[in-house]
Amino acid sequence: MTDTRPPGQAAPTATQRPDGSGCLRVLQVSAEIFPLLKTGGLADIAGALPAALSTAACDVRVLLPGFPAIVAGLQDATAIGQFSLPWGESVRVLSGALPAVQGAEGAAVRAYVLEAPGLYDRPGNPYEDAQRRPYADNHRRFAALAWGAARLARDLDPDWAPQVVHGHDWHAGLVPACLKLTAGKQVPCVFTVHNLAYQGIFSADVFGDLGLPPSAFQVDGLEFHGQISFMKAGLFYADKITTVSPTYAREVQTAEQGFGLDGLLRTRRSDLTGILNAVDTQVWNPATDIHIPHHYAADHLAGKAKCKAALQDEAELEVTKDAPLFTVVSRLTEQKGLNLVLAGIETIVQGGGQLLVLGSGDHELENAFRHAAQSHKGHVALRVGYDEPFAHRIFAGSDITLVPSRFEPCGLTQMYGLLYGSLPLVRAVGGLADTVIDADLATLDDATATGIVFANFSEADYRHAVRRALALYRQPRAWARVRQTGMHQNFSWTQAAQHYRAVYIAALPDLSRAST
């Protein structure tokens, strides 16, 4: 890395801060953030990480695109500057505070938001138009995020500049490229892969818009089979790479799960770490959850039975405690293994169980579940859409959380299921393999079992797993024991935040690292 500081100027250290405290200044860059804008787990993580890192001696600010929900939710916003994008468009940078999550303690998280209505002020989904086609100018919309990060890392805010920039997923993939390949102060960059399936691929024709030197468009750069890959840019130029579970960190290095980037990831394996996502227990805790009708805890489960009855009633399922209630809260996509769930409906219903699905996405999947709900009234129900409070009520009322994914970088719903006393039924892949312990004779005996895990992505294996869940439900004492173990799992952010801090420190140039 080139040091562009004027001669004689000391390297910035992790302990140098205008107010003199010893925090490491980190700028997080992500496209979504809970509670302002969420389409999936990325938002949950981006929302929880700043507060978690603040307990690990980090001073974290976030940079976000100015989607309408984000601009509307930013508190005490003031414009702190503006800059021009490579194609001439001007962007104002707002600085403000993120709203606190209800019940959360600690100072509000500071955020920078790119105010560029021409790029971001569109209704609906942040990435796609009403026909579910990616916006044609997505390369500009997310290149702007990278340029914003580079400017903030260098000179945009006279009162604060990060020592490390941390970008999330392909939307922030150009951040390390901008920082590495353009003139100005060099700030180390960490890049986190949340899902390698979404890469931000664009035609080579738009390369000129990105404002990067022509040398970037090569195989040792962001070129990917003749196109531009924002994900590859992140993986290639970042100083350190993380992904969201240890198992996924291994899986992405294989041809099967590498989406064409496994070779690069193998090359970079000494810079790659898997850090398991955690759960924000200010938001996800059945003892305090603001969205559920009755509170409960592992040693006080009466509220859970009431939540189940209320959920069955709300979903127009037969209200009976005897039927094990299987639930899905998910984006309806290929990734999530929902064709297995469809193939297993008869097994659930014939076994005396019920199924409730909350999701939106693929219309064919929506229709297939709609059809199943019509054929099994009172036993199968579907709610199409995105509904955060309903998702909470589902985990609270559910007995089994289904996550039979084809691949799963981490997965959060199985962890929410565990903490809410809904046993996860998962495939042994990615973060699912890292978070659920299969109930077999040995793990039932030593009380380490937390759910049902199956290995192969096949209808037969999935159905067998469903039958095992049904059988376990018919053994109330064993069931209760597994549920207790699950509810006592510790998914707190403390450990993950320490891991991220260690990765940030490792990304710092030697001189600054020495002083942390």
**CA pair distance 505, 512, nearest whole angstrom:** 8
Is-contact 314 341, C-beta < 8 A? no
Decide if residue 273 touches ligand GLC (CB under 6 A): no
Decide if residue 68 touches ligand ADP (CB under 6 A): no
Decide if residue 424 touches ligand GLC (CB under 6 A): no
CA–CA distances in Å: residue 122 to residues 85, 117, 430: 19, 8, 34
Q: Is 446 exposed, middle or buried (0-12, 13-18, 19+ CB in 10 A)?
A: exposed
Decide if residue 344 touches ligand ADP (CB under 6 A): no
- Quick one: which of 270, 150, 187 has its CA closest to 11? 187
Of 38-46, 126-134, 337-345, 444-452, the window that binds ligand GLC (rule: CB under 6 A) is 38-46
Decide if residue 253 touches ligand ADP (CB under 6 A): no
Q: Is 9 exposed, middle or buried (0-12, 13-18, 19+ CB in 10 A)?
A: exposed
How many residues belong to the site for ligand ADP (CB under 6 A)?
A: 18
Q: Kindly report the backbone phi and psi dihedral angles of residue 96, in degrees, each rounded to the nearest multiple of 5, phi listed first.
A: -165, -165
Residues 170-199 close enough to bind ligand GLC by CB under 6 A: 194-195
Interface residue with ligand ADP among 14, 28, 30, 41 (CB under 6 A) is 41
Sheet of strand 325-332, all strands in order from the earlier edge strand to the far edge = 380-384, 354-361, 325-332, 400-403, 423-427, 452-454
Is-contact 196 257, C-beta < 8 A? yes
* Composition of the chain by helix, strand, coil, percent to 5: 40, 20, 40
How many residues belong to the site for ligand GLC (CB under 6 A)?
A: 14
CA–CA distances in Å: residue 473 to residues 322, 351, 440, 477, 491: 9, 11, 14, 9, 25
Of 1-9, 127-135, 385-393, 508-516, the window that binds ligand ADP (rule: CB under 6 A) is 385-393
Instruction: Return the one option of ligand ADP, ligand GLC, none that residue 221 interacts with (CB less than 5 to 8 A, by type).
Output: none
Interface residue with ligand GLC among 96, 162, 274, 409 (CB under 6 A) is 409
Is-contact 144 65, C-beta < 8 A? yes
* Residue bearing tokens 């309806």: 332
Decide if residue 328 touches ligand GLC (CB under 6 A): no
Interface residue with ligand GLC among 35, 40, 86, 246 (CB under 6 A) is 40
Give whichever of 157 and 251 is closer to ligand ADP, judged by the CB atom. Answer: 251
Instruction: Kindly report whether the peptide bond that precedes residue 424 is cis, defined as omega within 30 degrees of 0.
Output: no
Instruction: Return the one option of ligand ADP, ligand GLC, none that residue 386 interacts with (CB less than 5 to 8 A, by type).
Output: ligand ADP
Give whichever of 331 and 468 is closer to ligand ADP, judged by the CB atom. Answer: 331
Tokens representing 7 are 């001669």
Interface residue with ligand ADP among 331, 463, 499, 513 (CB under 6 A) is 331
Give whichever of 185 and 499 is closer to ligand ADP, judged by the CB atom. Answer: 499
Instruction: Return the one option of ligand GLC, ligand ADP, none that residue 244 interacts with (CB less than 5 to 8 A, by type).
Output: ligand GLC
Tokens representing 248 are 């996924």
Decide if residue 169 touches ligand ADP (CB under 6 A): no
| Amino acid in the structure at residue 246 | P
Residues in the chain: 516
Interface residue with ligand ADP among 11, 23, 35, 40 (CB under 6 A) is 40
Tokens representing 459 are 């209808």
Decide if residue 44 touches ligand ADP (CB under 6 A): yes
What count of other Cβ atoms lies within 10 Å of the Cβ of residue 361? 19
Is-contact 276 244, C-beta < 8 A? yes
Instruction: Return the one option of ligand ADP, ligand GLC, none that residue 262 interacts with (CB less than 5 to 8 A, by type).
Output: none
Decide if residue 42 touches ligand GLC (CB under 6 A): yes
Beta carbon of residue 78, minimum distance to ligand GLC (angstroms, whole number): 31
Site string for ligand ADP, 387-406 (x = CB under 6 A): xx--x---------------
Give whichever of 162 and 409 is closer to ligand GLC, judged by the CB atom. Answer: 409
- Say if strands 189-193 and 201-202 run parallel, antiparallel, or are unpaired: unpaired
Decide if residue 279 touches ligand GLC (CB under 6 A): no
Site string for ligand GLC, 49-78 (x = CB under 6 A): ------------------------------
Q: Which residues bind ligand ADP (CB under 6 A)?
A: 40-42, 44, 329-331, 358-360, 386-388, 391, 410-413
Q: Which residues bind ligand GLC (CB under 6 A)?
A: 40-42, 45, 194-195, 244, 277, 408-412, 431
